[in-house]
A and B are shown apart, each in its own frame.
Chain A
Amino acid sequence: MIRRLILAAALALLPAAAGVAQPVTILNASYDPTRELYRAVNTAFAAEWKARTGTSVTINQSHGGSGKQARSVIDGLDADVVTLALSGDIDEIARRGKLVDPGWQARLPYKSTPYWSTIVFLVRKGNPKGIKDWNDLVKPGVKVVMANPKTGGGARWIFLAAWGYGQKTTGSARGARDYVAKLLGRVPVLDSGARGATTTFAERGIGDVLLTWENEAILATRELGADRFEIVVPSISIRAEPPVAVVDKVVDRRGTRAVAEAYLQYLYTPTAQEMIARNGYRPRDPEVAARYAAQFPDIRLFDIDRNFGGWTKAQKIFFSDNGQFDQIYASAPH
């Protein structure tokens, strides 16, 4: 932080001499499970930018819960770009902080989501409880681990996927709510974020099934051993699309718009898409997607905009104070 301030001050004092390329530093405020992904992307982009423009660029990363990151940016964290878990969080930056143009989502392909993911199940090797689909999660004796939708972006996707399943099988909002209430009744621990939930399931040995991002599940099997866990893809899940945006106010003040925009556009290139797929996120590029088809099985999907009316609306109905999540806990015996 102090180093960035000094750097910013130094840059402000030295008026960029025309034609002389100054080294640039930009900051990407992201959410938790993207550490590994952006470590790879940043190095590759810096090399590419250097080759193209002759300027060196350093991309600093800041990670944390998606909502917390949005709040930091609103409160003045000088992030040039944000890459968060929910479009609702960037909407907040636009609405409350007035730092991002309200039309941000139309500025890049696929509603500014260069990669996507979905919610899958991680079970213990051999799948001892025989968990195949959502209805198996509420069978007697099954314990479910997930993060807290009030504090974790990924957990909100999980909640909505479960709600969508309940809605589809019962045909009513009432039925959806009953299903989700039953499901939440199976959850002994609500961790604050996706990584914490993975730890609770994998390291602490709690529960029979972990509901989590597909990329987190892939990472868990890779890092913690494919001999310990299996990924179960349910019959239907949700299309989880983590969005990216340039923070207009910041890049205009710091004079970093060109590099910040190029950085986000770079995410759509085949090179970056390849890294995205390698890190367990579903790529947008059809050719890359075809190469990784084995890792990403086809799955029927709910859509946040079509099925839930967009994030702002979903946030209000499900996750705000006295929203569906709170109501379920308020009416549960405790």
Chain B
Amino acid sequence: MRTGILNVRPSIIPGFGVTFGITLTLLSVIVLIPLSAVFIRAAGLGWQGFVAVALSDRALQAYRLSFGAAAIAALINAVFGLLTAWVLVRYRFPGRRLVSALVDLPFALPTAVAGIALTALYAPNGWIGGVLAPWGIDVAFTPLGVVIALVFVGLPFVVRTVEPVLADLGLDVEEAAASLGATRWQTFARVILPALGPALLTGFALAFARGVGEYGSVIFIAGNMPYRTEIAPLLIVVQLEQHNIAGATAIAVTMLVASFILLLFTNLLQNWQRRRTLA
């Protein structure tokens, strides 16, 4: 299935011109115009002002935490999300629908509720935090806490992108591999994983992007100490508190550009992998 968007042949669905026009207009109004407003507001700072805010030492530390924690969390989600999707697709067990619904919960839950619940759990006097504290492991109010919050909000992205592909894959492929003498591990590494690769990468990218911008759930568990546990979205809020809207947008633009480059890169990787799989 490789059809470009613009080199259309007459399709059974008519009205490309109309639908494409509506799509573009909607995209402009909902996405492009607000985003360009962000760029224009940031431009008000001038280059030097922009660098002073957006690339300050403190901002760099905050990006490192935001992007780093989001990447780690997305990786964890890629592994355990794949496992979860596997269990949901390949096995029938009582309560399967319940587990499936649970996976979606982070989508629906207000992130602040997640943040408060996780903080209560992982604080030194919480159920889990209390067990870890004697071992000298602090979770809440450390970068580790940030990772945990991001794992929570990012999980459904991986599960829900991998699940349909895995369901499509069908057991017959595995059976074919087995009948040709592949071990279980070989089947997984050579047959299943490559087929799942693009979906897994998409899930990873979505979870990562979500994590980078996440505010509500993280703010309660992060600790918010400058240079140590301060996430980039908080710096934006801080700038707004100072009524410095240009400064806030400067940080936003930096995050936007960085995220866009990373997503573009993931996309290219995905294309490359898809082509390799098809070849």
Closest-by-CB residue of B relative to A196 is B220
Provided the pairs A71-B240, A321-B53, A329-B58 are in contact, do residues A188 and B227 lie with their beta carbons within 8 angstroms?
no
Provided the pairs A148-B224, A151-B238, A189-B225 are in contact, do residues A205 and B247 lie with their beta carbons within 8 angstroms?
no
Instruction: Write out, one digit per residue, whether chain A residues 77-102 have a CB within 8 A of any chain B CB (1) or not (0).
Output: 00000000000000010001000000
Provided the pairs A188-B141, A196-B220, A206-B124 are in contact, do residues A329 and B119 lie with their beta carbons within 8 angstroms?
no
Whether A330 sits at the interface, judged by CB under 8 Å, is yes
Closest-by-CB residue of A relative to B123 is A204
Instruction: Write out, one digit per residue, whether chain B residues 212-255 have a CB within 8 A of any chain A CB (1) or not (0).
Output: 00000001100111111000001001111111100100000000
Whether A191 sits at the interface, judged by CB under 8 Å, is yes
CA separation between A24 and B241, bound complex, in Å?
32
Whether A36 sits at the interface, judged by CB under 8 Å, is no
Whether A49 sits at the interface, judged by CB under 8 Å, is no
Whether A239 sits at the interface, judged by CB under 8 Å, is no
Query: Is there contact, CB below 8 Å, between A321 and B123?
Result: no
Query: Is there contact, CB below 8 Å, between A191 and B57?
Result: no
CA separation between A212 and B124, bound complex, in Å?
22
Whether A176 sits at the interface, judged by CB under 8 Å, is no
Interface centre among B219, B234, B241 (most CB of A within 10 A): B241
Query: Is there contact, CB below 8 Å, between A326 and B119?
Result: no
How many chain-A residues does the 8 Å CB contact rule pick out?
31
Closest-by-CB residue of B relative to A148 is B224
Query: Is there contact, CB below 8 Å, between A329 and B224?
Result: no
Q: How far is the CB of B113 from chain A (nearest CB, A)?
A: 14
Instruction: Write out, one digit per residue, whether chain B residues 126-139 have a CB within 8 A of any chain A CB (1) or not (0).
Output: 10000000000000
Kindly list chain A residues whose C-beta atoms are within 8 Å of the C-beta of B52: 321
Q: How far is the CB of A204 from chain B (nearest CB, A)?
A: 4
CA separation between A67 and B53, bound complex, in Å?
20
CA separation between A68 and B243, bound complex, in Å?
9
Kindly list chain B residues whose C-beta atoms are within 8 Å of the C-beta of A330: 57-58, 226-227
Kindly list chain B residues whose C-beta atoms are within 8 Å of the C-beta of A190: 223-225
Whether B125 sits at the interface, judged by CB under 8 Å, is yes
Provided the pairs A151-B237, A191-B224, A205-B123 are in contact, do residues A96 and B243 lie with their beta carbons within 8 angstroms?
yes
Closest-by-CB residue of B relative to A190 is B224
Closest-by-CB residue of B relative to A65 is B241
Whether B209 sits at the interface, judged by CB under 8 Å, is no
Query: Is there contact, CB below 8 Å, between A189 and B141?
Result: yes
Q: How far is the CB of A153 from chain B (nearest CB, A)?
A: 9
Whether B120 sits at the interface, judged by CB under 8 Å, is yes
Name A151's contact: one of B53, B120, B125, B241 (CB within 8 Å).
B241
Closest-by-CB residue of A relative to B126 is A204
Kindly list chain A residues whose C-beta atoms are within 8 Å of the C-beta of B220: 196
Query: Is there contact, CB below 8 Å, between B226 and A203?
Result: no
Closest-by-CB residue of A relative to B129 is A204
Query: Is there contact, CB below 8 Å, between A189 and B224?
Result: yes
Query: Is there contact, CB below 8 Å, between A205 and B240?
Result: no
Query: Is there contact, CB below 8 Å, between A204 and B120?
Result: yes
Q: How far is the CB of B64 from chain A (nearest CB, A)?
A: 12
Query: Is there contact, CB below 8 Å, between A68 and B227?
Result: no
Query: Is there contact, CB below 8 Å, between B124 and A205?
Result: yes
Kindly list chain B residues whose C-beta atoms are within 8 Å of the C-beta of A320: 242
Kindly identify, within residues 97 to 124 of chain B, every residue whose CB is under 8 Å from any CB belonging to chain A. 119-120, 123-124
Kindly identify, within residues 179 to 212 of chain A, every residue whose CB is under 8 Å from any CB belonging to chain B. 187-192, 196, 203-206
Query: Is there contact, CB below 8 Å, between A321 and B247?
Result: yes
Kindly identify, within residues 303 to 334 of chain A, every residue whose CB is under 8 Å from any CB belonging to chain B. 315, 319-321, 326, 329-330, 332, 334
Whether A150 sits at the interface, judged by CB under 8 Å, is yes
Query: Is there contact, CB below 8 Å, between B243 and A71?
Result: yes
Whether A240 sits at the interface, judged by CB under 8 Å, is no
Whether B199 sits at the interface, judged by CB under 8 Å, is no
Q: How far is the CB of A94 from chain B (nearest CB, A)?
A: 12
Whether B140 sits at the interface, judged by CB under 8 Å, is yes
Name B227's contact: one of A191, A196, A205, A329 (CB within 8 Å).
A329
CA separation between A151 and B224, bound complex, in Å?
11
Query: Is there contact, CB below 8 Å, between A192 and B58?
Result: no
Whether A231 sits at the interface, judged by CB under 8 Å, is no
Provided the pairs A204-B125, A205-B125, A326-B58 are in contact, do residues A150 and B241 lie with their beta carbons within 8 angstroms?
yes
Query: Is there contact, CB below 8 Å, between A67 and B226?
Result: no
Kindly list chain B residues whose C-beta atoms are within 8 Å of the C-beta of A196: 220
Query: Is there contact, CB below 8 Å, between A206 and B141?
Result: yes
Whether A29 sits at the interface, judged by CB under 8 Å, is no
Whether A70 sits at the interface, judged by CB under 8 Å, is yes
Query: Is there contact, CB below 8 Å, between B141 and A150?
Result: no
Closest-by-CB residue of A relative to B142 is A188
Closest-by-CB residue of B relative to A204 is B123
CA separation between A175 and B225, bound complex, in Å?
23
Q: How far is the CB of A210 from chain B (nearest CB, A)?
A: 15
Listed by A's residue number, 26 A-B pairs whose Cβ atoms lie within 8 Å are A67-B241, A67-B242, A67-B243, A68-B240, A71-B240, A150-B242, A187-B225, A188-B225, A189-B223, A189-B224, A190-B223, A192-B224, A196-B220, A205-B123, A205-B124, A206-B141, A321-B239, A321-B242, A321-B247, A326-B58, A329-B58, A330-B58, A330-B226, A332-B227, A334-B227, A334-B228
What is A's interface to B at a CB cutoff of 8 Å?
65, 67-68, 70-71, 74, 92, 96, 148, 150-151, 187-192, 196, 203-206, 315, 319-321, 326, 329-330, 332, 334
Q: A67-B241, A67-B242, A188-B141 are in contact. List 10 more A-B contacts (CB 8 A).
A: A65-B241, A150-B241, A188-B223, A189-B223, A196-B220, A206-B123, A206-B124, A330-B57, A330-B58, A330-B227
